[in-house]
Amino acid sequence: MARATATFACQECGASHAKWGGRCDACGAWNTIVEEARREAAPKGLSAGRGRKIDFVGLRGQSDAPPRSASRIAEFDRVCGGGLVAGSALLVGGDPGIGKSTLLLQVCAALASRPGAAAPATGRCIYISGEEAIDQVRLRAERLGLLDAPVELASATNVRDIVTSLEGGAGVQVVIADSVQTMFVDSLDSAPGTVAQVRASAQELIRLAKRSGFALFLVGHVTKEGMIAGPKVLEHMVDTVLYFEGERGHQFRILRSVKNRFGPADEIGVFEMTDKGLVEVANPSALFLADRDSEVSGASVFAGIEGTRPMLVEIQALTAPTTFGTPRRAVVGWDSGRLNMVLAVLETRCGLSAGVNDVYLNVAGGLRITEPAADLAVAAALVSSLSGTIVPADTVVFGEIGLSGEVRQVGQTEARLREAKKLGFARAIIPKSKATGKNSKPGGGALPITQIAHLNELMDLLPPQGQNPTVRSASG
Ligand code: TYD
Ligand code: MG
């Protein structure tokens, strides 16, 4: 007979310990050890060590594409890969107050309302709020003009109650649990929001979703570091992880898929927060470039790709004399390590030094860029800021920079150039294409382009203006 002993497991690395401790000896993480439920004694049939035989099949077979239900909020559907898959679990993370509850209430209402009598009947759309009272959600729905949508609303936190209410009830299409940190399983002692509770609640709800075939949204809080609070296993357990992000001061909100078992990852949807809730932004490039001041140094337009979609944004750089101590390098919307790298390459390979200046870099509009292709646009903004030469307003820039100052090719050149042309840009500075030689024109002649192979050629395109005192150029 199995002896009943308590086990303690680290939620970071999974190591098991004989007793509780503040720090896991195996991985060094603090406060990650929790008591795990005792393992039940093995059922009789299993004690012989034999299981059921499983069948193996080939890769080719009859599997239908998963049925999807689209919310007809185009930006949202694209991020999900074309609509919600029945029986899938989605985790939506984001800072407090960024608009997660607003977005999901709008999605829920959109799924619940039929566009016309001819449309197929939708299942029940259920919104369970663990954070807000019914009245608060109603107030929000009123603000959003969604009072008539046939959404079923509940305020509950006990997972057992939720499972009992939804079990067997056929025809549920979507369930939203806002948020998973407030949910609890009453068989565990720990408080809601602890690692063990979050994991157990999510597991229970996901199992129910798979069994009943509804799409489940779990809203997750993020920690100070920007990770979804709770164990990393939460991200492994769900099919899709979406982050809702944006700068608090900006009205733009970006829904980004970082994992998707049913569609492309890294896809983004752009929304604008208005007094009537979130509104889709169908053409984000036009919006991100709307407030551009064309005749200013230290700015360049980057033709980027977010997911499957090209997106143009303005990169701004400012250098100002350091007033004290070490020069500052401040970045909004990009990686500060990469900024330091570009500055170092400019100094070592091109002889352009930022000297004793603070350097500020900003991606206008509140977008966060992760593509290395932004290197060349950042370099152009920095060179322009240091040399005082304006990057022509009708020019887009993209390309990756290597440590020797070489400009490397990036993917999807055509798509970037097409988007630039669509928005009225007349020129492009892009990496030299190695395969086809200097004279070939990618983009099918979409734009007059300047291909460059080394950062020095960018410096030649933006020669220093004599009057700027911050420039120390090796060549001049
Ligand atoms: P909310 O969805 O509650 O955020 P989360 O669930 O991510 O914590 O969003 C709240 C914020 O959104 C709040 O600061 C007010 C703002 N808001 C609007 O600007 N317009 C609106 O129509 C609504 C409903 C909210
Ligand atoms: Mg909320």
End-to-end CA distance of the chain: 86
Residue 438, phi then psi, degrees to nearest 5: -70, -30
Looking at all shown ligands, the one closest to residue 105's CA atom is 1
Query: Using CA atoms, how far apart are residues 289 and 127, in angstroms rounded to an integer?
Result: 37
Nearest of 149, 145, 159 to residue 125 by alpha carbon = 149
* pLDDT bucket at 121, cuts 50 / 70 / 90: low
Nearest of 283, 264, 262 to residue 272 by alpha carbon = 283
Contact at 8 Å (CB) between 63 and 71? Answer: no
Q: Whose CA is nearest to atom 13 of ligand 1?
A: 97
CA of 99 to the centre of ligand 2 (A): 7
* pLDDT bucket at 317, cuts 50 / 70 / 90: very high
**133-190, pLDDT tens digit by residue?**
999 999 999 999 999 999 999 999 999 999 999 987 678 999 999 989 899 999 888 7
Query: Using CA atoms, how far apart are residues 329 and 338, in angstroms rounded to an integer?
Result: 11
Nearest of 366, 394, 395 to residue 458 by alpha carbon = 395
* pLDDT bucket at 439, cuts 50 / 70 / 90: very low
* pLDDT bucket at 471, cuts 50 / 70 / 90: very low
Looking at all shown ligands, the one closest to residue 107's CA atom is 1
Q: Cis before residue 179, ω within 30 degrees of 0?
A: yes
Tell me what the pLDDT averaged over the chain comes to.
Answer: 85
Residue located via tokens 């930022």:
354
Q: Whose CA is nearest to atom 10 of ligand 1?
A: 97
190 vs 199, 248, 340, CA distance in Å?
A: 12, 33, 45
CA-131 nearest atom, ligand 1: 6
Which residue would you say has higher pLDDT here, 397 or 44?
397
Nearest of 301, 315, 338, 310 to residue 410 by alpha carbon = 310
Q: Does position 214 have pLDDT exceeding 70, yes or no?
A: yes
Q: What is the dihedral of CA 471, 472, 474, 475, to 10 degrees?
A: 40
Cα 49 to chain centroid, rounded = 45
CA-219 nearest atom, ligand 1: 6
Measured from CB, residues less than 6 Å from any atom of ligand 1 are 94, 96-102, 140, 143-144, 273, 275-277
CA-178 nearest atom, ligand 1: 6
CA-140 nearest atom, ligand 1: 24
* The token pair that represents 374 in the structure block: 């932004």
Task: Write down the pTM of the prediction.
Answer: 0.79
133 vs 18, 80, 102, 275, CA distance in Å?
A: 42, 29, 15, 21
* pLDDT bucket at 92, cuts 50 / 70 / 90: very high
Q: Does position 442 have pLDDT exceeding 60, yes or no?
A: no
Pocket test for ligand 1, best of 273, 274, 275 (most atoms within 8 A of CB): 273
Provide the 10 A C-beta neighbour count for residue 16: 11
Looking at all shown ligands, the one closest to residue 142's CA atom is 1
Q: What is the dihedral of CA 320, 322, 327, 330, to 10 degrees?
A: -40
Q: Whose CA is nearest to atom 11 of ligand 1?
A: 97
Query: Using CA atoms, how far apart are residues 138 and 249, in angstroms rounded to an integer?
Result: 26
Least confident of 8-12, 35-39, 290-294, 428-432: 35-39
Pocket test for ligand 1, best of 91, 102, 247, 275 (most atoms within 8 A of CB): 102
> Taking every pair of C-alpha atoms in the chain, what is the biggest distance, in angstroms?
88
**222-231, pLDDT tens digit by residue?**
766 666 655 5
75 vs 11, 110, 238, 260, 322, CA distance in Å?
A: 35, 13, 21, 16, 43
Q: Whose CA is nearest to atom 2 of ligand 1?
A: 99
Q: Whose CA is nearest to atom 21 of ligand 1?
A: 277
2 vs 8, 125, 203, 323, CA distance in Å?
A: 17, 45, 26, 70
Residue 426, phi then psi, degrees to nearest 5: -110, -15
Question: Please, which residues have CB within 8 angstroms of residue 11's CB and are 6 or more apart in sequence?
Answer: 32, 33, 34, 195, 196, 199, 231, 233
Looking at all shown ligands, the one closest to residue 103's CA atom is 1
**242-286, pLDDT tens digit by residue?**
999 887 777 889 898 989 998 888 888 999 999 999 999 888 888
Provide the 10 A C-beta neighbour count for residue 229: 18
